[in-house]
A and B are shown apart, each in its own frame.
Chain A
Amino acid sequence: MPRGAGVQDGGDGWMVDLSVEIGELTLQNPITPASGSFSWEYDEFIDLNELGGLVAKTICREPRDGNPTPRMAETEAGIIQSIGLPGKGIDYFLENIVPEYAKFDPPLIVSCSSEDPDEFALLASELSVPDVDVVECNISCPTRNTSGGNFALSDEHTGEVVSKLRAATDKPLWAKLSPNAGDIVSIARAAEEAGADALCIANTFLGLKIRTDNFRPAIGNKYGGMVSPALKPIVLRMVYQCAKEVKIPIIGIGGVTKAEDVVEYMLAGASAVGIGYAAFRNPTALTSIIRDLEVWCDNRGIKRVSELIGAIKDEDMEMDTLTAASQGV
C-alpha cells in the first residue's frame, strides 16, 4: 500500500514536517518507544529507522536478575507489571547492546537507574559514549523503595540526584518523573533547576492486584506499575500542568495508542511522546502511529507537527454555565 492518501511534495517526502526539537536534538518525528517496553528486537516487525528515537531499557551498573515471576497480571483496565530492572550490567550493555542499536539511524536514548546518587552519576558518565545520544535517568521506577531509588517522589531528592547526573555527563539529560508524586509540578521544577534538558512524564502508577483464589498478590513483587490507556487523561493533565511551569521540553508517556493521543499530548505542551503498551497490543503500532499522524496533520493542512506543541485553546474558559448550556452538543 502506498504511504497514505496525503499530498506528496513532488519529491519523495511529504508535505508535513514531522520533526521536533528536544533541546539541541532533532527527532525526525515525535514518536519514541518507552523505556523497558521496547528493544531493538522489535526490528522483527517494523523498520526502526522510521522512529523518532530508540530508547533502551533502563540499565543498572551491576548485573541484576530482576523480580520474581510472575511479572505481569491483567486487571479490569490494563496490566500491572514489575520487572525489576533486570540486566547484565554496564560493561555488557556497552559491549553488546549499544552496538545492536547503533545499527539503526535514530538517536539512541539510554535510560539508567541506581538507588545511590553517586553510583548513578558514575553510571551516567560511563554511558556517555559516542553511540549514546541521550542519557535518560529513570528516577521513578515505581516499585523501588522510596528511601532510595525513587527519587522522583520528592523535589529535594530529585534536585540532588539530577545535579549529580548533570555534572557527570555532557549528553542531553532527560529525567523520567513519577506520576506517584504528590505534586509533580514541583518535581518538574526541581529537575529543571538541577539541569535536566527534558522531562519524560511519566513512569507507571504503583498498583496492586490480589488473587481471590489463593489470597496472594498476583505478581511476584507484590506491587506493580499499572499500565493502561485508561491512565492517559491523568498523565496528560500532568504534562499540561508541568508544561505551564517549566521551559524545557516534555516527552509525554502514558496510554498513547493512536495518532490523536499524540496530538493531545502535543497540544498539552509535550514535544514528543513515548509509547509502551500500544506496541504490546499492536507490534506495528509505533510506525503506524507515525503514518497516521502524518495523515492527520495533512488532512487539516498542518504543515509542521511542531505547531501543535502547547497549542491547546484554554483561554476563554470563562463562559457562564447558562450560556454554555444553551449551546448544542
Chain B
Amino acid sequence: MSGHLVENNYTTGAIRAMELDPFPNKPAGEFICNVISNDWVNEEYKLVVLGAHKKALTAVAGQFFHLLCPTPDGAEVWMRRPMSVYRVDQSGGRIEFLYKSEGRGTRGIATLKSGDEFNIAGPLGVGFWLEPDWKNIVVLGRGVGLATLAPLSQMAFEAGVNVTALLSARNRDVVMSRDLFESYNADVIELIDTDGSSDVSNVKNIIEGLIKDQKADAFFTCGSNRLLNLLKDQGRKYGIPGQVAMEQLMVCGVGACYVCVRTFNVNNERVLRRVCREGPVFKMEETVGW
C-alpha cells in the first residue's frame, strides 16, 4: 500500500491478507497473497495454495482471478494470466488454483515456493449459476477444463443438487479432481483415451443414459470443443440447458479493452461478447463451436 512511498517502482494498491481494504465496497481487489504450497498433482498439473485477503474468498465457481505471474527467466511477463478458482477454503483463508505449466506466465507460477508473495486481482467475471428447478446436473470436462468445473461440485452440494461428473483425460494418471468431486458426493465416471472410453460415441451413450435416468437437468462444460458440441447436440435434442466456461486472451480482465471477445449466437444473430465481463461462463446454447 502507498502511504509510505516506495520510490521508483511500479505503483500498486494491492493489499495483504490482514491489511485494511481501501475500497471495502468494491467487489474486486488486488491482493498480495502468500504462497502456502505449490506442488505437482500429477505429471502435468500443479496446484498453488495461497493465503489471501478475505475479499478474495468471495469468489464463486467459474469466476476467475487475473494473476501477475513472476518471471520464469529473469525477463518481464507483461500481461496477467486469467485463472479460474479451483477451491476456496473460507475457514482457512485460502484460495487455490490448478494449472498447467506451459508458457512463460504459467512457468513463472510454477517457480513459486512456500513463503513467496503472489499478486492476484479479482474475483472477476460471471460464474456458474444453478436454477432452482435443477436437481441433477451433469459436469463434463477434460484436461485443465476440470480446474474450472471442479468448484461447481461444492456449489451444487451446498444447494442440494446431485452431480454426475464425467472426467475425461488422456490416461488414468492425469485424471484430475476426482477426489474433490467425490468429497462433495458426486458420482464420478472416468473417460480415458487409452481404453477408448472417451470416444464421442461412448460419451454420447453415457449421456443419453443419464438423460433417461433423469439425472441431467443441466449440462456444464469447459475446455474441449468436441465435448461442447456433443453437449449442445444433446441439449438441443432433449431440451436440456447448459453452461460453458470460455477462454480467450485477456488484457484488462474487467471489460475495458475488448481484447477478450468471442463470437456468440444470440437469437440467430452473431454477436461479440467479452469473455471477462459477460462471461467466462455463458449459456451453452449461445456459444459457437470452434
A residues with a Cβ closer than 8 A to B are: 1-5, 36-39, 41-47, 57, 65-66, 69-72, 74-79, 81, 83, 86, 228, 257-260, 278-285, 287-289, 291-292, 295-296, 299
B residues with a Cβ closer than 8 A to A are: 1-5, 7-14, 19-20, 22-23, 26-30, 66, 68, 75-80, 104, 119, 121, 124, 248-249, 251-259, 261-262, 272, 277
B2 interface neighbour in A36, A74, A292, Cβ under 8 Å: A292
Using Cβ atoms and an 8 Å threshold, which residues of chain B touch A47? 23, 26
In the assembled complex, the CB of B266 is this many whole angstroms from the nearest CB of chain A, namely: 14
With A1-B19, A69-B249 as given contacts, are A285 and B5 in contact (CB-CB < 8 Å)?
no
Q: Which among A45, A46, A77, A260 has the highest number of chain B CB atoms within 10 Å?
A: A45
Residue of B nearest to A262 (CB): B11
B30 interface neighbour in A45, A259, A291, Cβ under 8 Å: A45
Q: Complex Cα distance A31/B66, Å?
A: 24
Q: Is the CB of B12 within 8 A of A284?
A: yes
A72 interface neighbour in B76, B77, B251, B262, Cβ under 8 Å: B251
Q: Is the CB of A285 within 8 A of B28?
A: no
In the assembled complex, the CB of B40 is this many whole angstroms from the nearest CB of chain A, namely: 26
Q: Complex Cα distance A287/B14, Å?
A: 11
Q: Is the CB of A45 within 8 A of B3?
A: no
In the assembled complex, the CB of B201 is this many whole angstroms from the nearest CB of chain A, namely: 33
Q: Is the CB of A42 within 8 A of B254?
A: yes
With A65-B272, A83-B259 as given contacts, are A46 and B10 in contact (CB-CB < 8 Å)?
no
In the assembled complex, the CB of A284 is this many whole angstroms from the nearest CB of chain B, namely: 3
B13 interface neighbour in A38, A285, A296, A299, Cβ under 8 Å: A285
Q: Is the CB of A76 within 8 A of B251?
A: no
A258 interface neighbour in B8, B76, B104, Cβ under 8 Å: B8
Q: Is the CB of B8 within 8 A of A3?
A: no
With A37-B256, A44-B254, A83-B258 as given contacts, are A295 and B2 in contact (CB-CB < 8 Å)?
yes
Q: Is the CB of A299 within 8 A of B257?
A: no
With A280-B251, A288-B13 as given contacts, are A74 and B78 in contact (CB-CB < 8 Å)?
yes
Q: Is the CB of B11 within 8 A of A292?
A: yes
With A5-B4, A72-B251, A81-B251 as given contacts, are A45 and B121 in contact (CB-CB < 8 Å)?
yes
Using Cβ atoms and an 8 Å threshold, which residues of chain B touch A291? 2-3, 13
Q: Is the CB of A44 within 8 A of B10?
A: no
Q: Is the CB of A39 within 8 A of B255?
A: yes
Q: Is the CB of A79 within 8 A of B26?
A: no
Q: What are 7 inter-chain pairs, A to B, with CB distance below 8 A?
A: A57-B256, A79-B78, A278-B11, A288-B1, A288-B13, A295-B5, A296-B7
Using Cβ atoms and an 8 Å threshold, which residues of chain A touch B76? 77
Question: Assuming A282-B30, A282-B68, A284-B12, what are 16 further A-B pairs, CB within 8 angstroms?
Answer: A1-B1, A1-B22, A39-B256, A41-B254, A44-B28, A45-B29, A46-B23, A69-B262, A72-B251, A258-B10, A259-B11, A279-B252, A283-B30, A285-B12, A288-B12, A292-B11
